[in-house]
Amino acid sequence: MYNNKKEQHNLQLTSLDSSAIDDNNLEDVRLLDSYDNDDVELGVGGGGMKRITVKVTGMTCSACSSSVEGALMSLNGVVSASVALLQHKANVTFDPNLVKEDDVKNAIEDAGFEAEILEEKSSARSKPQGTLVGQFTIGGMTCAACVNSVEGILRKLNGVKRATVALPTSLGEVEYDPLIISKEEIVTAIEDAGFDASFVQSSEQDKIILGVVGVVNELDAQALEGILCNLKGVRQFGYNRVSRELDVLFDTEILGPRALVDEIVTGSSGRFQMHVKNPFTRMVSQDEEESSKMYALFTSSLILSFPIFLMRFICPHIPLLYSLLLWRCGPFQMGDWLNWILVTLVQFVIGRRFYIAAFRALRNGSTNMDVLVALGTTASYVYSVYALLYGAITGFWSPTYFETSAMLITFVLLGKYLETLAKGRTSNAIKKLVELVPATALLIVKDKGGNNVGEREIDALLIQPGDVLKVLPGKKVPVDGHVVWGSSHVNESMVTGESAPVVKEVDSLVIGGTINFNGLLHVRATKIGSDTVLSQIISLVETAQMSKAPIQKFADYVASIFVPMVVALSFMTLLGWYISGSLGAYPDDWLPENGNHFVFALMFSISVVVIACPCALGLATPTAVMVATGVGANNGVLIKGGDALERAQKVQYVIFDKTGTLTQGKATVTNVKIFTEMDRGDFLRLLASAEASSEHPLAKAILAYARHFQFFETTATKDSQDNNNQSALSEWLFEALDFSAIPGRGVQCYINGKQILVGNRSLLTENGIAIPTDVENFVVDLEENAKTGILVAYNAELLGVVGVADPLKREAAVVVEGLKKMGVVPIMVTGDNWRTARAVAKELDIQDIRAEVMPAGKADVIRSFQKDGSIVAMVGDGINDSPALAAADVGIAIGAGADIAIEAADYVLMKNNLEDVIIAIDLSRKTFSRIRLNYVFAMAYNVISIPIAAGLFYPWLKIKLPPWVAGACMALSSVSVVCSSLLLRRYKKPRLTTILEITVE
């Protein structure tokens, strides 16, 4: 039983103990949103809001709960009031400056119920920090005008910071303040605007959507609700009897998702079975339902319209059938009766959706394609009915145009059906990514002592951190984690692009969705849900598909004025032909048989209304962007938004970082020269001790060399088989104090109370250490051979130099050559010295280089190129590249690089392959070439078709489009634009790939 307000959204509040009471407006959050414990006082705007829970006694039905809510909301200062009938409780949020707790209690008692204020523990309350981002499905949108209308409505809501709506996916992403507005209120606002809406998904771990099997009647539903009401830790739940879905919000400190499912199954003695609903899978099923619904409408309209078409165009040539149609039955002929009945069904039953959508648009002060369809078909239907009635009264029978209305609706529904099929294919990238994750996993059950006691197959979405999972040969790894037992080879090509299987042993990291080849693995889950690598990729693709390219602003503007202009042109066409005909401007033999000037003008006017197509303009950009982001993801290039996609096509300069970007980032020590009497082993021990705390690739190379030379030499075979090599090495190292990494120079620390410096010339010079000539000559020789010379000084004395080489990536030279052929200028920026930079640039044939550049200086280099308005792309991988990636017009991060670099970038190359830089730019160019072609087609179609439909060429060419033909043209135009965008799915990599393969061979 639900109260009236909650019944609308099918939501039920469960009983809450004092430790589980929480905000009514617990909201769905993304990865970066969090909840923190706070006081009862909640800051909203400039004042403080207070929330209390009241026990209400005496409620017996939903009318009672509505009365309590009404009494509470009537108090000046009450922000929100929610009453749970079954739990006999009310949660009230109010301004304590205007309302006191006693006022709340008195209001409930005045309504005829007993009230008691319940005490709450502050530790149980939490509030969302900042704004949250929620996703909603929005049904009923047909064109860009609908999108503009929904976005406008959402942005006007108090508490909404940002709203973006995507027409191809029918999704809306809303950033809002949960202390001001809840997701239920957002859904209500969309529905009040005349569109269908529902919440889609959440990345927080305290919300789960379950499919329920076993609920067959009302008693079962009540039993399920009873189990949830008595389940400690459940905050809210809602069971949808139609979709058989259970939406549960729970306290993660008390209850986990798997425990929740187990409690429900156990509480029902196994009668109810649960399976977790994947939000992306739910959206796919909704797309399929929409296509099925549209197909049913189209086929129904076709079945009813086909007899109308036969009676109009075929039966007059078949005497027997035609005589039956001419048989008079009452005031009308049999054919007239049949036409009227069939068209009425098509117009008002099947075509009801057009009237509803048109009413929505007009109510919100906008217009869309549905307004045109409703206007054109209604004009044809009303005129035909009028002609029949006029003929029955006066005996003067004018021609009717019932077939125009029926066939218009049929063709428009055909277009809509084809459009839904095509738009459904644009989200194939996300579907494929979702399908990578296995549906179930084998959980290893342990006893209290940690011993394995069995196995259990569970839903993969119910895996919890710390679970140990069994991965059989040939099966997919369910989630991200690390191996705790076994060894095998795993295919990680879906993430890294590396086709060769990767060896996985104890402590090796594994990625969810990758395929285990030949061995048995036990994997401990470390990341689940939205924290997994695959979920992050899906999130990036989804965010990109939601975003709008700047070029779409043009389409949005045109859509806002398109329909009013078309209606005005239609009205002018009607007046023009009717007045000119009345004045004798054209001969009467142009008129249809038994027709008049008004009928002649009306047909042109209706044709203008129905042939105009704003959908083609509205779909030109978003469908292409969606397909492009999907194609990019399939090729290992994640695009973060339509704006980034648009900017990449205009790139004039590509600036490359050197280490880890142009080079493999796997540096190796090639030379060690000591310029003092110090023993080589002692030198490496000092050097390794200083570099042990650094994460720089060069530091890792030095540590590896030191371990090999010194440590393994003394411990021989024993340690080569020991899994604790790293801890043993740590015992060998000196203790380094006051360690600090100096960006662009090196590191410094203190060992045995004496300062040690490891870095380039600048580091030593700044600390007053002179560099002898023989040392300088040795370093210069290294640099001229594309090696980096690292100087080591201890206690103000220069000890020696280490030469480190970082090989170039095999594809680097070919990528540079490919960029030049594309008209893009490659530039290398590095913190390395000039001699090394020149040696690398010479090998790659890069003419413009900037060396000895500090991390902040890389951003300055980018800005220097941007001064004349040039579009600059930056390709980097490290933390020190983040400022440059953010400063660039297009930031391209190597996927294997640092997380902060990936966050700052617009493109992420997941396969760590420089060749994908070419793909990123080429895909952008091809996408916007397709978008421009779409716009040219859409504009040309309307510019050419509207004058033809208006009959401007009729006096000379006698070209007259019947309204139903015009409707067919309109329906097919939007479908053609979508199909044009879908051609991007056949995107082929540039021939650079072939060149690269030949070069390598």
Express each pLDDT in 108-118 by its tens digit. Answer: 888 777 888 87
Going edge to edge, which strands form the sheet with 848-850?
637-639, 907-909, 890-894, 872-876, 653-657, 825-829, 848-850
Residue 177, helix vs strand vs coil? coil
| Listed residue (122, 75, 129, 84) closest to 103, CA to CA | 75
Task: Return the top range by mean pLDDT from 181-195, 404-418, 434-448, 681-695.
Answer: 681-695
Q: Which two tokens stand for residue 648?
A: 């990449």
Which has the minimum average pLDDT: 509-523, 717-731, 745-759? 717-731
Residues near 702 by Cβ (< 8 Å), separated by ≥ 6? Answer: 669, 687, 688, 691, 790, 802, 804
Note the pLDDT of residue 253. 65
- Indicate if 336 belongs to the active site: no
* CB contact at 8 A, 163 and 204: no
Angle (deg, nearest 10), helices 402-425 and 614-634: 20
Please, which pLDDT band fits residue 710 given cuts at 50, 70 and 90?
A: low
Note the pLDDT of residue 758. 94
Q: Is-same-fold flag (440-532; 637-663+810-910)?
A: no
**Is the CATH number of domain 637-663+810-910 3.30.230.10?**
no
Mean pLDDT of 837-845: 87
Residue 869, helix vs strand vs coil? coil
DSSP string, 582-628: HTTSS-GGGSPTT--HHHHHHHHHHHHHHH--HHHHHHHHHHHHHHH
* CB contact at 8 A, 235 and 22: yes
Give per-residue pLDDT as tens, 667-688: 788 889 999 989 888 898 899 9
Domain segments of the chain: what residues?
Answer: 50-118, 132-279, 280-436, 440-532, 549-635+922-1000, 637-663+810-910, 668-710+733-805
What CATH class has 132-279?
alpha beta
Q: How many CB atoms lie within 10 A of CB 270?
A: 9
Q: Which two tokens stand for residue 281?
A: 């899978």
Cα 221 from Cα 227, distance rounded (Å): 10
Which has the minimum average pLDDT: 412-426, 583-597, 693-707, 810-824? 412-426
Q: Which residue type is seen at 547?
A: S
Task: Return the top range by mean pLDDT from 319-333, 565-579, 619-633.
Answer: 565-579
Bridge partners (DSSP) of residue 164 are: 173
Asked whether the predicted pLDDT for residue 123 surpasses 50, the reply is no
Q: Which residue type is seen at 412?
A: V
Residues near 461 by Cβ (< 8 Å), separated by ≥ 6? Answer: 257, 276, 278, 529
Note the pLDDT of residue 995. 42
Angle (deg, nearest 10), helices 812-821 and 915-949: 30
Report the relative pairing of strands 502-504 and 653-657 from DSSP bridges: unpaired
Q: What is the mean pLDDT of the chain?
A: 77
Cα 139 from Cα 972, distance rounded (Å): 22
| Listed residue (936, 942, 968, 938) closest to 566, CA to CA | 942
Cα 375 from Cα 377, distance rounded (Å): 6
CATH topology of domain 440-532: 2.70.150
| Listed residue (33, 18, 435, 10) closest to 205, CA to CA | 33
* CB contact at 8 A, 626 and 619: no
Q: Which two tokens stand for residue 600?
A: 């002649």
Q: What are phi and psi of 212, to 5 degrees?
A: -115, 130
DSSP secondary structure letter of residue 361? H
Q: How far apart, in Å, are the Cα atoms of 117 and each of 89, 93, 123, 765?
A: 10, 13, 18, 72
DSSP string, 776-827: HHHHHHHHHTT-EEEEEEETTEEEEEEEEE-PBPTTHHHHHHHHHHTT-EEE
Note the pLDDT of residue 286. 63
Residue with tokens 């078309």, as numbered in its chain: 566
Note the pLDDT of residue 196. 79
* CB contact at 8 A, 629 and 429: yes
CATH topology of domain 50-118: Alpha-Beta Plaits (3.30.70)
Residues near 324 by Cβ (< 8 Å), separated by ≥ 6? Answer: 334
| Listed residue (897, 864, 895) closest to 880, CA to CA | 897
* CB contact at 8 A, 113 and 59: yes
Cα 49 from Cα 524, distance rounded (Å): 43
Q: Which two tokens stand for residue 981?
A: 């965008």
Give per-residue pLDDT as tens, 16-64: 333 333 333 333 322 223 223 333 333 333 345 777 878 887 776 556 6
529 CB burial (10 A radius; 0-12, 13-18, 19+): middle
Please, which pLDDT band fits residue 344 given cuts at 50, 70 and 90?
A: very high
| Listed residue (489, 336, 317, 464) closest to 399, CA to CA | 336
Q: How many CB atoms lie within 10 A of CB 241?
A: 13
* CB contact at 8 A, 738 and 716: no
Asked whether the predicted pLDDT for residue 268 surpasses 70, the reply is yes
Mean pLDDT of 315-319: 83
Task: Count CA atoms within 13 Å of residue 106 on its CB side.
Answer: 6
CATH topology of domain 668-710+733-805: Calcium-transporting ATPase, cytoplasmic domain N (3.40.1110)
Chain centre to alpha carbon of residue 216: 36
Give per-residue pLDDT as tens, 63-107: 666 778 888 888 888 887 777 655 567 878 888 888 888 888 888
| Listed residue (147, 154, 146) closest to 368, CA to CA | 146
Residue 853, helix vs strand vs coil? coil
Give per-residue pLDDT as tens, 544-586: 555 566 776 666 677 677 778 888 898 999 999 989 988 888 8
| pTM of this structure | 0.59
Residue 155, helix vs strand vs coil? helix
Max alpha carbon distance in the chain (Å)? 124
Cα 65 from Cα 81, distance rounded (Å): 11
- Active-site entry in 657, 806, 832, 877: 657
Which has the minimum average pLDDT: 87-96, 296-305, 414-423, 756-765? 414-423
Bridge partners (DSSP) of residue 275 are: 211
